[in-house]
């Protein structure tokens, strides 16, 4: 695995990029296309929160692009605004300034918690996403079965979330995200609450599913090894406010493992960079 990293300069805004400021409604409602082959383009996106008289800048002029089919990880220490960033891209919140463009692609979001509806079975949870998308009832059953099979949970459709293990619940959540027919999957530390063994297996599964479906993934994590294991590219954010401080390109040269030396080596470099960043806040 060859690795290159560089200080990042914000990409130039494409003429077709749409301004998202002021869009209050949830849901990926994008009209203008991103540049060719670009699934997500952020141009100088800032987000500030006002609490009383003080204004907290969560994200400061964040710019990057994610190409179609690319797997990009975002890492950063606490307070780097990782989750805020995903909320903005998902359209659940709007930036204070800057532009986010997904070129009309459908965006799905997965959280650290599976966030399954506890009153529905695993199958119904997945089906509801299809229903919300307007898939007719007759077609839904087959699609639910296929999606559950994709996450290796065929035969568990009748189980309720509490009857499944944490890893299985997270896979149902993945099936539900896939049911949204998303082109871009935003994942907010989806395996953060799982044990290392389960996480390792789910990395393989996620990689397989992404390859099968040519998904574009933006994967937020605070685990540098996970980022080095999964990403085609890793973006490092600074803390308070979140700014892009470094990017690592990790071209794929075969199957990676979380414990392989290349992954460890890249992870160690990222850790050093993050420590340096944290040290900045300690002085």
Partner 1 sequence: MAADQALRGLDNLELQPAAGAQDPGHFARKVWAVLWPKALAVVFILVVWEAVTLSGWKHLVLKGPGPVFSALWDEMLHGSPSLWGIIGVTLETAVAGYAAALVIGSVVGLLVARIPVLRAAVGSIITGLQTMPSIVWVPFGIILFGESESTILFVVILGAAPSIAAGLISGVDYTPPLLLRAGKTMGLHGFALYRYLVLPASLPAYVAGMKQGWAFAWRSLMAGEIVVQIVGQFSIGQSISVDQQNLDFAGASAMLIVILVIGLAVDTIFTKADTSLRRRRGLLETAT
Residue 243: is it exposed, middle or buried by C-beta count within 10 angstroms (0-12/13-18/19+)? buried
- Does 158 interact with partner 1 (rule: CB under 8 A)? no
CB 165, min distance to partner 1, A: 4
CB 133, min distance to partner 1, A: 6
- Among residues 12, 36, 142, 197, which is the contact residue for partner 1, using CB under 8 A? 197
Cβ-contact 214, 257 below 8 angstroms: no
CB 10, min distance to partner 1, A: 27
- Does 67 interact with partner 1 (rule: CB under 8 A)? no
Strand 4-6, strand 244-249: pairing: antiparallel
- Does 230 interact with partner 1 (rule: CB under 8 A)? no
User: How many chain residues bind partner 1 (CB under 8 A)?
Assistant: 42
For residue 43, the cross-strand partners are: 99
For residue 223, the cross-strand partners are: none
Residue 71 sits at the vertex; the CA angle it makes with 212 and 93, to the nearest 5 degrees, is: 110
Nearer to partner 1, 22 or 134 (CB): 134
- Among residues 73, 80, 85, 129, which is the contact residue for partner 1, using CB under 8 A? 129
- Among residues 5, 61, 143, 198, which is the contact residue for partner 1, using CB under 8 A? 198
Cβ-contact 219, 187 below 8 angstroms: yes
Cβ-contact 75, 231 below 8 angstroms: no
**Neighbour tally for 14: CB within 10 Å:** 18
- Does 201 interact with partner 1 (rule: CB under 8 A)? yes
CB 248, min distance to partner 1, A: 26
- What would the 3-class secondary structure string for 89-124 be? HHCCCCCCEEEEECCCCCEEEECCCCCCCCCCCHHH
Name the segment binding partner 1 (CB under 8 A); options: 41-49, 70-78, 127-135, 209-217.
Answer: 127-135
Q: How far is CA 220 from the centre of its chain?
A: 5
Strand 216-221, strand 184-188: pairing: parallel
Provide φ and ψ at 248, rounded to 5°.
-120, 125
- Among residues 15, 22, 118, 282, which is the contact residue for partner 1, using CB under 8 A? 118
| Span 85-104, contacts to partner 1 by CB under 8 A | 87, 90, 92
Nearer to partner 1, 72 or 177 (CB): 177
Q: What residues line the site for partner 1 (CB under 8 A)?
A: 25-27, 87, 90, 92, 108-109, 111, 113, 115-120, 128-129, 131-133, 152-153, 156, 160-168, 176, 180, 197-198, 201-202, 204-205, 208
């Amino acid at each position: 695995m060859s690795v290159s990293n560089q200080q990042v300069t914000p990409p130039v805004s494409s003429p077709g990029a749409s301004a998202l400021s002021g869009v209050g409604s949830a849901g990926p409602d994008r009209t203008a296309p991103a540049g060719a082959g670009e699934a997500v383009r952020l141009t100088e996106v800032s987000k500030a929160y006002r609490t009383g008289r003080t204004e907290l800048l969560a994200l400061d002029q964040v710019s990057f692009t994610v190409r179609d089919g690319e797997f990009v990880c975002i890492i950063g220490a606490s307070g780097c605004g990782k989750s805020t960033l995903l909320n903005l891209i998902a359209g659940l919140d709007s930036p204070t300034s800057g532009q986010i463009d997904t070129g009309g692609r459908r965006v799905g979001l997965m959280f650290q918690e599976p966030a399954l509806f506890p009153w529905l079975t695993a199958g119904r949870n997945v089906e509801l996403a299809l229903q919300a998308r307007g898939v007719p009832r007759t077609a839904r059953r087959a699609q639910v079965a296929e999606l559950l099979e994709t996450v290796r949970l065929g035969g568990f459709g009748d189980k309720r979330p509490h009857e499944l293990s944490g890893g299985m619940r997270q896979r149902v959540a993945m099936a539900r995200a896939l049911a949204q027919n998303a082109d871009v999957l935003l994942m907010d530390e989806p395996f953060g609450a799982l044990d290392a063994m389960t996480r390792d297996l789910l990395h393989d599964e996620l990689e397989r599913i992404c390859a099968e479906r040519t998904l574009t993934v933006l994967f937020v994590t605070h685990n540098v090894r996970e980022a080095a294991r999964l990403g085609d590219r890793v973006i490092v954010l600074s803390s308070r406010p979140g700014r892009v401080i470094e990017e690592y390109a990790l071209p794929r040269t075969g199957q990676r493992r979380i414990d392989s030396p290349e992954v460890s080596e890249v992870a160690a470099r990222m850790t050093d960079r993050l420590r340096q960043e944290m040290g900045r806040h300690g002085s």
